[in-house]
Amino acid sequence: MLLEYLNTTDNRMKSKCLTYFLLLFCLGGFGQKTTPKAVNPYASIDKKALQIPDSLTKTTDGIASYINSTFSNENDKARAIFIWVATNIQYDYENMFAINFYEKKEEKISKPLKTRKGICENYAYLFNDICLKSGIKSFVIEGYTKQNGFTDYIPHAWCSARIDSTYFIFDPTWGSGGVINGKFVKQINNYYFKALPSSIIKSHMPFDYLWQFLNYPITNQEFYDGKVQQNKSKPFFNYLDSIKEYEKLSKIEQLIASAGRTERNGVKNSMIFDRLAHIKMEIAHYNQERTVNSYNSAVSEYNDGINLLNDFIQYRNKQFNPAKTDKELQEMVDSPYLKLSEAKSKLNEIKGDTANVTMSLTSINKSIDDAIIHVNEQKDFVKQYLSKGKLGRKTMFTKYTWFGIPLN
């Protein structure tokens, strides 16, 4: 009953959320910054990076293997990854709105490798995955952008990577070229390689201010107003320590923390509203998933406990034959008790926030309590049995009438 209810609820949530946030990671006319045509300072790195054998470009593992064997430091590796992604992936302008909201991260990565096309989420996840496999700490950042003084209405995705203990911003999508007259034109833009957070904040605004990498984060209202200079009259935000703490959190804790920061920074537009709604949906989904997992685990522990109890009763019916040591006998009767207690503990972690969940919890808890009563009866028998000598133990399995005739 619990599983059926949770699955039905989860499906309803999924169908509702399809109406919003489908535009996440799409690309509005990008590439506002231009780099003057000059000598490419990364020419030697780029040349090596673009010589990777095609056989290795089918997976990020293959690409990362080449990167690690060809380049020795984080800066060169990051450049090689950036130039390979920006050069080899064509922006899929025609399908910029065709986003599968529930597409797995692995699919977002594998698709551009197979088709050599993608939108900003593909560029970002591809860059991020190769970085991680090349030993570079990296994150995908979700947010929105501003160009020519106007805030875009379509969300965007880019990356951050830590190079020599410092976080920089990388946007392989905007760095790959731009859309002109409805067509994507390939042109590498180095402004979006290893950009400073204090500079990129003029055009890239994360939903969660943790990923601004600034000690005095910019609010959404300030971003709209163009007030992106660091205001040291604000409370100091230690983003480095905050990221370390973030990495220690469970997935559900990360989502809750991110939702709080996103909301505190001001729900200025529909993109932020949709992102916040999506995070809360994820939190609800993880809570349901955790409830199902805890419930299933508790039921499994309960079943194990009942099986162990039945094993003991069958052994008792055989008058403890074949013989076991006192320690083995004690463990045999203790085991079902421990299993049932563990089941009880796991059920106590579940929040009964609906009538169906509460009813299911009440039912299984009663079954466990009844089973524990039977286990305790057997534990008492064993305690008494172990307190007796050999003859006394033997008489515990046989009852006599007044005339000394055995009843069994």
Of 182, 206, 230, the position where a domain reaches its end is 206
Q: Six-digit token pair at 109?
A: 């990565």
20 or 29, which is more confident: 29
Range of the domain at 300: 291-393
Pair 172, 64 in one domain: yes
Q: Does the residue 184 lie in any domain? A: yes
296 or 96, which is more confident: 296
Q: Does the residue 231 lie in any domain? A: no
Sign of the dihedral through C-alpha 294, 297, 298, 299: positive
pLDDT at 30: 54
Determine the length of the chain: 408
Pair 316, 183 in one domain: no
What does the alpha-carbon distance between residue 78 and residue 11 come to, in Å, rounded to a whole number? 40
**H helical segments located in 249-406:** 251-264, 270-317, 326-348, 355-386, 390-395
Of 188, 206, 224, the position where a domain reaches its end is 206
Does 102 have pLDDT greater than 70?
no
**Minimum mean pLDDT range among 95-109, 211-225, 302-316, 391-405:** 391-405
pLDDT at 302: 95
Run of H or E residues at 7 = helix 2-17
Q: Does the residue 255 lie in any domain? A: no
Candidates 143, 135, 150, 149; CA nearest to 169 is: 143
Q: Does the residue 245 lie in any domain? A: no
Task: Respond yes or no on whether the N-terminal peptide bond of residue 322 is cis (omega within 30° of 0).
Answer: yes
DSSP state of 145: E
Sign of the dihedral through C-alpha 171, 175, 177, 179: positive
149 or 134, which is more confident: 134
Task: Find the CATH number of the domain harbouring 71.
Answer: 3.10.620
What mean pLDDT is predicted for residues 95-110? 76
Listed ranges 15-19, 31-35, 381-385; the one with the highest mean pLDDT: 381-385
Q: Does the residue 275 lie in any domain? A: no
Q: Does the residue 137 lie in any domain? A: yes
Task: Find the CATH number of the domain harbouring 355.
Answer: 1.20.58
Does 82 have pLDDT greater than 70?
yes
Q: Six-digit token pair at 251?
A: 């997935």
Does 364 have pLDDT greater than 90?
yes
CA distances from 288 to 99, 144, 231, 311, 353 (A): 25, 30, 41, 35, 11
Q: Tens digit of pLDDT for each residue in 146-193?
A: 998 899 888 999 999 999 999 999 999 999 998 888 788 999 999 999
Q: Are 161 and 138 in contact (CB under 8 A)?
A: yes
Q: Strands 177-180 and 166-170: what pairing?
A: unpaired
Instruction: Provide the CA 155 distance to its chain's centre, in angstroms.
Output: 21
Of 206, 227, 262, the position where a domain reaches its end is 206
At 157 the three-state DSSP class reads strand
Pair 54, 199 in one domain: yes
Q: Does the residue 372 lie in any domain? A: yes
pLDDT at 119: 92
Cβ atoms within 10 Å, residue 52: 18
Pair 160, 295 in one domain: no
C-alpha radius of gyration, the chain, whole number: 31
Pair 62, 186 in one domain: yes
Cβ atoms within 10 Å, residue 174: 28
Pair 322, 180 in one domain: no
Pair 189, 328 in one domain: no
Cβ atoms within 10 Å, residue 333: 23
**Mutual orientation of helices 355-386 and 326-348 as an angle, nearest 10°?**
160
Number of domains in the chain: 2
Q: Does the residue 271 lie in any domain? A: no
Pair 202, 299 in one domain: no
